[in-house]
Amino acid sequence: MLVLNRSRLAAPALLDCCRAMSTAEGTPPRTLITGSLGQLGLTLAKEMRQRYGKERVVCTDIRKPPKTVLQSGPYRYANILNKGGLEEILVENRIDQVVHFSALLSAIGEQNVTLALQVNIEGFHNIIDLCRTHDLKLFCPSTIGAFGPETPRNPTPDLTIQRPKTIYGVSKVYMELLGEYYHHRYGLDFRSARFPGIISATTPGGGTTDYAVQIFYDAIETGHHECFLSPDTRLPMMYISDCIESVIQMMECPQDELSQRTYNIQAFSFTPEEIVAEIRKHVPLEVTYKIDPMRQKIASTWPQVLEDTAARKDWKWDPKYSLEKMVPYMLQKVRDQLSKDLPPPKELF
């Protein structure tokens, strides 16, 4: 048995020694999730804890979590702009890999560009630098917002022109390129997937695809939805269960089987009028359209269909939910959510 004297080991040496022991014993990785109180973080943490163990997944965010989160496993306050504080958490919790969800989304980012630059660029730089220092695997999602009007929209290939017109998109292109650079320059195990719109029972948090979540709440609560995108606006989407599985699947894939560092993934594409028609098969729903010029402008520059052949080939990406299968699941999830005493957490980052 090896006994470590922490007072005599620098932080990088301590973490590397602990990680070496963990690898040698064949134990599951210790994972830190930033932005864990958002749409994706809570669901990913729950799934990872079921697979890897409750104590092996550390959730972090800048807000006070509900009691249910505190009872479900380790939670730490972490501001991604505080590099020293982040490093302390990584070392003390013997982290092996990081899932970085903290980000300001598309519509919110346009309203506060300065904050978006701080969170999405400075925050990511802190994360990737610490992952390089401590030799940690890093996953950070990208987005359909990383593309722009010059990009082929149907289908959009993995490698193509990327000229986004939002600060959110610009910051994600920066993330993709810096991650690839750190991989080639320093050997960092960086991985990313360009997520389409994610549909879940978590209330919307400021994204351009938010209507595809809000419409389910409106269908159950009022039977009327006012859509901020035009009825023929086609965008790629994915149910959250497939999204969470994609993160775990990509993180578990052996590095030598990855042909690239950033992959397109999607499950299906639809327009507002198509999802309305599908929902009406299950519940009555009236829809009116009040176009939000800013969000419509953003959506009109994004892909309609993502070409994800590489992900399916390299790490066997295979979504389980179609639009038809997702709708009844979502309606039931929203009913369950509305029946709870406490509202679902809103996504800040």
The residues carrying an active-site annotation are 168
3-state DSSP assignment of residue 61: strand
Alpha-carbon span 23 to 12, nearest angstrom: 16
Tell me if residue 125 falls in helix, strand or coil.
helix
Tally of residues, the chain: 349
* Sequence-ordered strand ranges (E) for 63-128: 75-77, 97-100
Q: Give strand pairing partners of 191.
A: 139
DSSP conformational letter for 348: -
How many of the other CB atoms lie within 10 Å of CB of 145? 29
| Residue 9 DSSP code | S
Q: Which pair of tokens denotes residue 328?
A: 């009844």
Which of 143, 80, 121, 106 has the alpha carbon at shortest distance from 298?
106
Residue 193's DSSP bridge partners are 263
Closest CA to 139 of 165, 168, 102, 184: 102
The residue assigned the tokens 């994609």 is 246
Q: In 3D, which of 134, 34, 131 has the Cα closest to residue 75?
A: 34
Question: From CA 112, how far away is CA 307, in angstroms rounded?
Answer: 31
User: In terms of DSSP bridges, do strands 268-270 and 235-239 run parallel, antiparallel, or are they unpaired?
Assistant: antiparallel
CB atoms within 10 A of CB 240: 22
Q: Rounded to an integer, what distance in angstroms lies between the CA atom of residue 314 and that of residue 250?
A: 9
